[in-house]
Amino acid sequence: MAHIWPIGGGKGGSGKSFLASSLGRLLAKSGKKTLLIDLDLGAANLHTMVGVPYPEKCFSDFVTKKIPVLEDTVLGTPFPNLFLISGAHDNLDIANLPYDKKIKTLRAIAKLQYEYILLDLGAGTAFNTLDFFLASRNGIFITTPEPTSIENVYRLMRAIYFRRIRHYFSATDFKALEKKARQQSGDDSFNKPEHIISIVKKEYPEKYMLIKKDFNSFCFKLILNQLRKQDNTDLGMQICKIIKKHLGINVIFTGNIAYDEHVHDAICQRVCFLDRYPHTRAANDLRELNSKMSDSLGEQLMLNYL
């Protein structure tokens, strides 16, 4: 069974593609058959980070049925064991991927024969992005230490949280819940998830227990990228505490990745950072993260919630 790692961050430029390509490279190097899927449709650039300058096929060929089987859109990379489904040439916007195509894609991903499948999800909180993130229990959030990036990753977590809760209610019940929240806590009640969950706890205790159990089974992770010397190294831990307090969900702080000018250099040279600059602090951080993360259990995609 494949390990599926969706990688999401609220803000563009936080390092999702850099992380996906680096973890992919490390997993592949350790002998794991690894597939990267670029789902940052419309702004795909993962191919450039794994040495595939001109992908001759891509994900949208599957969506448009030009290539009927998802596996046939897979490209090799210059690295043994590392494969890619590129998002290049896609003029699709993930937000506009119709429901039936999303389900078809997830079912097709579930059938792929790889040890690790990493999904580079792109920024934003489009429902499709949330659903790809929630299809696995091992989602990875990434942010930089900048307040704007932290704000956006929090917004993403909150959107994911509500997206999941939404599945436990019929449209009518959810509307009633929204109305009650607005009456009790004002119009910004959806910015304060603890209000919603306190209403769920009181009015729908069975659903509350199910939701709690559901969230406890997730193993969300948070990675802080582009940490400079002067930055607070405990920031990641502090963010996780705030998430626990406001959303009641466990997000495990998994580690920091140092800011390193060489990342920019490697991308400009279109080479893999880890191969060109293996003795840097950031490369060390990535190796540490990879060894912490790669012993999680493989799992089935959760398609029943869609």
- Positions in the binding site for Mg ion (CB under 5 A): 16-17, 40
- What residues from 241 to 260 belong to the interface with ligand ATP (CB under 6 A)? 257, 259-260
Phi and psi of 6, rounded to 5°? -75, 140
How many Å apart are CA 295 and CA 293, to the nearest integer? 6
Question: With respect to ligand ATP, which residue has the nearer C-beta, 170 or 230?
Answer: 230
CA–CA distance, 5 with 206 (Å, rounded to integer): 30
Contact with ligand ATP (CB under 6 A) among 33, 43, 201, 248: 43
Nearest approach in angstroms of CB 57 to Mg ion is 20
Q: What track of x and - describes contact with ligand ATP for positions 14 through 33 (by CB under 6 A)? A: xxxxx---------------
By beta-carbon proximity to Mg ion, the closer residue of 17 and 189 is: 17
Three-state SS for 52?
coil
DSSP 277: -
Contact 306, 106 (CB under 8 A): yes
3-state secondary structure of 285: helix
Answer yes or no whether residue 278 interacts with ligand ATP by CB under 6 A. Answer: no
- Nearest one of 239, 227, 221 to 145, comparing CA atoms: 227
Q: Which is nearer to Mg ion, 44 or 97 (CB)?
A: 44
Choose which of 226, 254, 256, 290 interacts with ligand ATP (CB under 6 A).
226
CB of 104 to Mg ion, least distance (A): 24
Q: Which does 14 bind (CB under 5 to 8 A by kind): Mg ion, ligand ATP, none?
A: ligand ATP
- CA 149 → CA 12, 13, 17, 61, distances in Å? 8, 9, 15, 33
The footprint of ligand ATP on this chain (CB under 6 A) covers a number of residues equal to: 21
